Amino acid sequence: SGCDLARHLGCPRDRDGLLAMLARGRTRLLDAGRLTYAREDGSPGIRHFINIAAFGLAGDVAHHIKETGKPLGGTLSYAYSSLRAILTARARGLRLKADGRDISGRYHLGVLANTSSMGGGMLIAPGTRDDDGLMDLVLVADMSRLALARSLPSLYSGTHLGRPGITLTRLRRLEADSDETVYLNIDGEADGRLPAVFEVLPGAVKVVTP
């Protein structure tokens, strides 16, 4: 595991700290996401997520990790697989509707973020809130592989927003489809492909927090 939910919530990483957190029993409600999508065999599927659901490059990365495992641990394995995906990247034509608004175009990556990090520490949506009834959609538009590679460090540091070709939109519902095969990444796991509908479920999950 990349421990992204624990990182987002600020949970201690040591055993004693975690036990103390559990003993205090402090809880709060988080939003969750519901994803209706196409499974690998084309049949309809429904899954839920807490951290992120993504498509494009992130789906390619998840499929690579599914095939190879995480021999370098969570963070380094995601970083290696991300760089590998960038070196072979091509943007896909995507039909997107954000709360009914058409934002279709050619994109390398789309991430629906409910929490701030993914991929073992990639700060994809800095400042996002997990309890506001909204998700942050981060889109990376068509650009050269060199520009993508140069953007990778900023994705980990959270300084990518505002760079050319990278946008953030807050929304409650996203419809996504493509004429090409576009794989999904659901909370770090490879599962299915577009078409998909992403929806927010406000206050759906109770968690123990520091």
Mean pLDDT of 19-48: 92
Q: What one-character DSSP code corresponds to residue 100?
A: T
Which of 75 and 145 is assigned the larger pLDDT? 145
- Read off the CATH number of the domain in which 22 is found: 2.60.200.40
**What is the model's pLDDT at position 71?**
54
Average of per-residue pLDDT values in the chain: 87
Mean pLDDT of 79-84: 73
Q: Which residue has the tokens 């796991």?
A: 189
Which of 119 and 105 is assigned the larger pLDDT? 105
- Of 61, 56, 97, 123, whose CA–CA distance to 199 is shortest? 97
User: For residues 36 and 196, is the Cβ–Cβ distance under 8 A?
Assistant: yes
For residue 85, pLDDT over 80 is answered with no
Query: How far is the C-alpha of 201 from the C-alpha of 210, rounded, in Å?
Result: 23
Structural domain that includes position 120: 4-208
Greatest mean pLDDT among 38-47, 72-81, 99-108: 99-108
Mean pLDDT of 82-90: 79
pLDDT-based confidence at residue 61 (cuts at 50, 70, 90): confident
Q: With a threshold of 0.75, does the pTM exceed it?
A: yes
**What is the model's pLDDT at position 120?**
67
CB-based contacts of 153, cutoff 8 Å, min separation 6: none
**What is the model's pLDDT at position 70?**
64
For residue 153, pLDDT over 80 is answered with no
pLDDT-based confidence at residue 163 (cuts at 50, 70, 90): confident
pLDDT-based confidence at residue 192 (cuts at 50, 70, 90): very high
Mean pLDDT of 21-34: 92
What 123-129 contacts at long range (C-beta under 8 Å, 24+ apart), as own/partner pairs, is 123/155, 123/156, 123/157, 123/158, 124/52, 124/155, 124/158, 125/168, 126/158, 126/161
Mean pLDDT of 156-178: 91
Mean pLDDT of 1-25: 81
Query: How far is the C-alpha of 53 from the C-alpha of 196, rounded, in Å?
Result: 10
**How many domains is the chain partitioned into structurally?**
1
